[in-house]
Each structure stands twice: as C-alpha cells, then as structure tokens.
Amino acid sequence: MSLDDLNWLVSNTEPRATKMIQHLRAEGIAHEELLALMGNLPRHKFVEPAFSHLAYSATPLPIGRNQTISQPLTVARMTQWLLLYARLGRVLEVGTGSGYQTRILSHFFNKVHTVERQQWLHLQAKQRLSSMGVKNVEYLFADGQTGWPHKVEMDAVIITAMASKIPLALTRCLKPQGILIMPIDHPSPQIGCWRKEGDRWKRLGTEAAFFVPLLEGMEHA
C-alpha cells in the first residue's frame, strides 16, 4: 500500500466506514463478523475512481461498463441471509462485477465460483482480489445463466443482477436444501431468499431493492 493510500484510509475511510456500519446495524444487520469485515474492507477500491468519495454512502455506485455495485445494505442483507441459512461450503455467484460481494463471500465460504459476462469487469475483479490475497475464488468469463460448467453442486447460488424469473439451469446446480438469493423484478423490484425443497421453493425472506438486469451472452473487453 502506498503512503497516499494509507493517508487516505486513515483520514477518510475510518469515520465513513463507521457511519456505514452504524447504518447497517440500524437496518437490522446483526452478524458481528460480517459487520467487522465490511467495516474493514476498502470499498473505495471497488468503485469507479470518480465516485470513491461516495463509496461508504447508502447508494449504488458505478463500477464501469454501465454496471453498478449495490448499496452496502443490500450486500449485507444478501450475505446475512446466506450466513443464516446456507451451508458455507461452495457458493456460485452470477455477476462478479467489481468483486466486492465476491470478496465478502470468500471470507465465509470454503470455495467461491464467480461468473461475469463482461470481460473487462471479470479481469479487473480477478486482479483486484488477487492483489488483496484472496485465494479461494474461481473466476469465469461467461454467461452465468447456464450455471457453472463443471459438475459441482453448490450449497448456495447468489445472483447479483435482476431477472423476471429464476434461471432453470442455476437451480439445477443447487444441492437439495440449497439456498438461492436473487433480485427479481416481479411483482416489484426486490431481493429474495429461497430454500430448494424438492421441486418447490420455500421463501425465507424478501426486501425491496433494485439491480442492473441479468443479460444474455458475453461482452469482450
């Protein structure tokens, strides 16, 4: 870390991160390890540089390629559901984006598989997390709607882009009793948490939230 980085962290990040954590607590995020992790993660390194001064605010921010990182509360809510309900073995994330959610997942799960359809974001996130010493993540540049290409079953699937219905292929790579977290725009934009019970889905939680759309195909850098 350069001296500039260090000065920035000392003079700016700490109070803003503390405020962010207070806000998360006030909104019902109670998992202490998650709060400690989010309080220590340099969120300003995951957003477009022009927006780094807003990185700890309760707002979604640009991460490049017309994509956005969710506001901290949405990331915390989705993660808290996983911590409450999922086995923390293997998780599939569709929509690597900046890698912020990936970084949080990597702290709690043994193994993270993350897929991104924008090559530029895929490469940036991979480099960012590697430089932070994150080792238990497999990155894939692909359309994540078809699931993970190898036959591994997931304890949880988290989709960080919004769709109208659950992509079937993704449900197939979930273990029985696996947890699915995704934003869905029907009947109104919201994030939801479901448990796979045979061929039924038991809804465990929902909350209003807005996301960029889940898109088809891949975009090269």
- Active-site annotation, residues: 70
CA angle 101, 31, 190 (to 5 degrees): 55
- 120: exposed, middle or buried (Cβ count in 10 Å: 0-12, 13-18, 19+): middle
The Cα-based distances of 208 to 53, 155, 158, 173 in angstroms read 26, 24, 16, 26
Shorter beta-carbon distance to ligand SAH: residue 21 or 112: 112
For residues 154 and 113, the answer to whether their CB atoms sit within 8 Å is yes
Task: Find the helix packing angle between 119-131 and 100-108, rounded to 10°.
Answer: 50
Shorter beta-carbon distance to ligand SAH: residue 52 or 160: 160
Binding to ligand SAH in span 49-78, by CB under 6 A: 63, 67-69
Binding to ligand SAH in span 8-47, by CB under 6 A: none
Separation of alpha carbons 184 and 26, rounded Å: 25
Is residue 183 part of the contact set for ligand SAH (CB under 6 A)?
no
Shorter beta-carbon distance to ligand SAH: residue 146 or 177: 146
Binder among 24, 72, 95, 190 for ligand SAH (CB under 6 A): 95
| # binding residues, ligand SAH (CB under 6 A) | 23
Give the range of 77-85, 90-98, 169-177, 184-192 binding ligand SAH by CB under 6 A.
Answer: 90-98
Give the range of 10-18, 23-31, 141-149, 202-210 binding ligand SAH by CB under 6 A.
Answer: 141-149
Structure tokens at 98: 């900046």
Shorter beta-carbon distance to ligand SAH: residue 95 or 192: 95
Binder among 73, 91, 94, 209 for ligand SAH (CB under 6 A): 94
For residues 106 and 112, the answer to whether their CB atoms sit within 8 Å is yes
Binder among 85, 100, 109, 148 for ligand SAH (CB under 6 A): 100
The full length of the chain comes to 221
Interface pattern 110-139 for ligand SAH (x via CB under 6 A) = -----xxxx--x------------------
Which residues lie below 8 Å from residue 158, measured CB to CB, with a gap of 6+?
78, 82, 91, 92, 93, 94, 101, 105, 180, 181, 182
Is residue 174 part of the contact set for ligand SAH (CB under 6 A)?
no
> What is the nearest approach in angstroms of ligand SAH to the Cβ of residue 68?
6
SS3 109: coil
Phi, psi of 211 (to 5 degrees): -135, 160
Residues near ligand SAH (CB under 6 A) are 63, 67-69, 94-95, 97-98, 100-101, 115-118, 121, 143-145, 160-161, 212, 214-215
